[in-house]
Structure 1
Amino acid sequence: MSIRLLPLLLLAGCALREPGDFQASATDDATTSAGPPGTSAEPETTSGGGTYPGTFTATTPAEPTTGVGPTSGVPDPTATGSDTTSLFIVEGDQGGIKECDLWTEDCPEGHKCMPYANDGGSAWNATKCVQIVPDPDQFGEPCQAIGSGVSGEDTCDKHLMCWDIDLDTLQGTCTAMCVGSPEAPACEPPNTTCALSGDGVLILCIPNCDPLLQDCPEGDTCISSPNTGEFVCVLDASGEAGQVFDPCEYVNACDPGLICADATLADECDPQVIGCCLPFCDTSLANTCPGQGLECIPWFEEGAAPPGLENVGLCMLPQ
């Protein structure tokens, strides 16, 4: 199992299951976006112009989640030796941890700004300056997290973060952080999307994907990013569940090709649960949606789909 944080969104109460930072709640205050015609979400256009079948929120949780997915088994920093006495951390004038700005990289020379868990939990919730290791790993190269997956310390160079970490070896891949600003985020690597979460504690460039092709690496699933309208690869946290019409709580807790959506969008879903796994579909093809009365409803409003995603739809009851 690997740690994959990503971003992201809530579909009618479905949060991304990750090591805490992309946790979400249906009652949290955050950006919302309208769904396909007839859904109950209040519309608000995202920067990518996309629309979504449900309401999205993304916040940092009060405490780590448990169960199938990357949160389960995330190394405890207090158990692995990662703590605030590490030689890699820059101390401030008062002996405390020096907070920093991920966008401007305002740390001393030879150091970089990194997200970390400052409370011993599994959610990235703060930033600190850490020393860049000698001969650091570069973008796309294998890397090593130091202490734990949420320690904020790794072997990557400046403005890179060791990502997709194996829980047993703490090895991952150096992934680029976003550039620009919170108001105008961007990514330099091609075919990636800037995924912001946790009030800006994580600013990672995540690979784009096609939900109809599900062209992510093995073990990942393709879901939508709320801050851009693009589709991105995140960890498939479905485990043995996550089949069509299965109940779900996390947006990436469904099998590839499905997404956790509002349970009222299909009669086969249990109306008492938060979410239900529904399949993506191709609006240009004959209706092949399962269930009674489900139709392939366009995911994006007309003219708002990113290039190549014009035919993406979701199987749901017409509203």
Structure 2
Amino acid sequence: MRISLALVPLLCACVGAPAGPASITAEVTSSAGDGDSRWTTDLQQRPTTGTTGTTGTTEPELPSEGFHCDPRLQDCPADHKCTPFASMGADDWNGARCVPLVTDPAGLGEPCETRDHSHSGLDDCGPGLMCWYFESLTDLRGRCLGLCRDDDTCEDPGARCYVQPSASYLCYPLCDPLAQDCPPPATLCVRSSSVDGFICRYAPAGEPAGAGMPCEGETDCAPGHVCDPADLVSGCAGERCCAPLCSLSQPNCPPGLDACEAYDPGPPPEYTDLGICRAP
């Protein structure tokens, strides 16, 4: 049985301080794999029993801001990994630094734990991995997700690199939008403009919007819904409103949105049965 060990930060030993990750140039070409049970098993408490990996009794400070390594290249010294982090406890990544690996780190899809705050980058996952999908912002137990490689692909064929405007870091697992089969905690299986497929994202706080309710993006809607243009959703009071997804072979749409239309006119094989409930 693996034991989760707490991290002992060391001063980053990376040479130089690159300005940031390499520019984004490649398209994502990985495809969804067969059903993978690692995303459906319950999270387990991984007990902490001590400190790890490196010698010494003090904890020198890690770099507090800036890019000191490239997470996509993993260019840190031995026994360290390069991880994105947010300086000053920010809520989005704005740097990358080398942190020491724990003894016996968690692998892809395995339970993990992050220390200090959600974007600290201090976790017990192995190299090229990051702990994500937390129970809550106060309970930072989650699962190890892969980091994007330098060509914006993922080691896991069942995941896709989520490309952000300034950088790409995490490989989010693909999912079935009709089954909403994302791993816990509360996540949504949604389409992203930067990913060719549906990926698992966090559900925002508050009550999600149901069918016919205004929305600004996919994560505003309840599970199993997408944010559709107003002219396709009966009674929509905004520029876009939530519409239920449906199975083309077994449609089950609500009144007023009776037509189950193909989601994509030329879908990949895994989405050939996927439709959207729209106004007839």
TM-score, normalised by the number of residues in structure 1: 0.61
Cα deviations across residues 60-112 of structure 1 (Å, max 9, x unaligned)?
A: xxxxxxxxxxxxxxxxxxxxxxxxxx746258xxxx75522122112233222
Within the candidate set 207, 217, 241, 1:240 is matched to 207
Aligned partners of 1:312 and 1:88: how far apart in 2? 50
Q: Indicate whether 1:89 and 2:62 are aligned.
A: yes
Q: Is the 8 A contact 2:160 2:174 kept in 1?
A: yes
Q: Is the 8 A contact 2:92 2:119 kept in 1?
A: yes
| Distance of aligned partners of 1:98 and 1:233 in 2 relative to their CA distance in 1, 3 Å threshold | closer
Q: Is the 8 A contact 2:180 2:188 kept in 1?
A: yes
Q: Is the 8 A contact 1:238 1:255 kept in 2?
A: no
Cα deviations across residues 101-140 of structure 1 (Å, max 9, x unaligned)?
A: 1221122332221111125321112222222233322223
| Distance of aligned partners of 1:146 and 1:293 in 2 relative to their CA distance in 1, 3 Å threshold | closer
Q: Indicate whether 1:115 and 2:84 are aligned.
A: yes
1:279 aligned residue: 244
1:52 aligned residue: none
Q: Is the 8 A contact 1:238 1:252 kept in 2?
A: no
Computing the radius of gyration over CA atoms, which structure comes out larger, 1 or 2? 2
Q: Is the 8 A contact 1:283 1:298 kept in 2?
A: yes
1:185 aligns to what SS in structure 2?
coil
Offset, 1:317: 4.1
Aligned partners of 2:28 and 2:108: how far apart in 1? 26
Structure with more relative contact order (C-alpha pairs < 8 Å, separation 6 or more): 1
| Distance of aligned partners of 1:268 and 1:144 in 2 relative to their CA distance in 1, 3 Å threshold | same
2:243 aligns to what SS in structure 1?
strand
Q: Indicate whether 1:316 and 2:278 are aligned.
A: yes
In structure 1, list runs of 5 or more residues that go unmatched: 1-45, 49-85
In structure 2, list runs of 5 or more residues that go unmatched: 1-26, 30-58
Offset, 1:168: 2.5
Q: Indicate whether 1:175 and 2:145 are aligned.
A: yes
Aligned partners of 2:75 and 2:234: how far apart in 1? 53
Kindly provide the amino acid, as one letter, of the partner of residue 212 in structure 1. Answer: L
Offset, 1:223: 1.0
TM-score, normalised by the number of residues in structure 2: 0.69
Offset, 1:212: 1.9
1:185 aligned residue: 152
User: Percent same amino acid at aligned positions?
Assistant: 35
1:125 aligned residue: 94
1:297 aligned residue: 261
Q: Is the 8 A contact 1:221 1:235 kept in 2?
A: yes
Aligned partners of 1:309 and 1:168: how far apart in 2? 36
Cα deviations across residues 149-173 of structure 1 (Å, max 9, x unaligned)?
A: 0112112121110111232232111
Aligned partners of 1:293 and 1:142: how far apart in 2? 41
Offset, 1:256: 1.2
2:117 aligns to what SS in structure 1?
coil
| Distance of aligned partners of 1:135 and 1:308 in 2 relative to their CA distance in 1, 3 Å threshold | closer
Q: Is the 8 A contact 2:211 2:244 kept in 1?
A: yes
Aligned partners of 1:190 and 1:47: how far apart in 2? 11
Query: What do you get for the CA RMSD once the two structures are aligned?
Result: 2.7
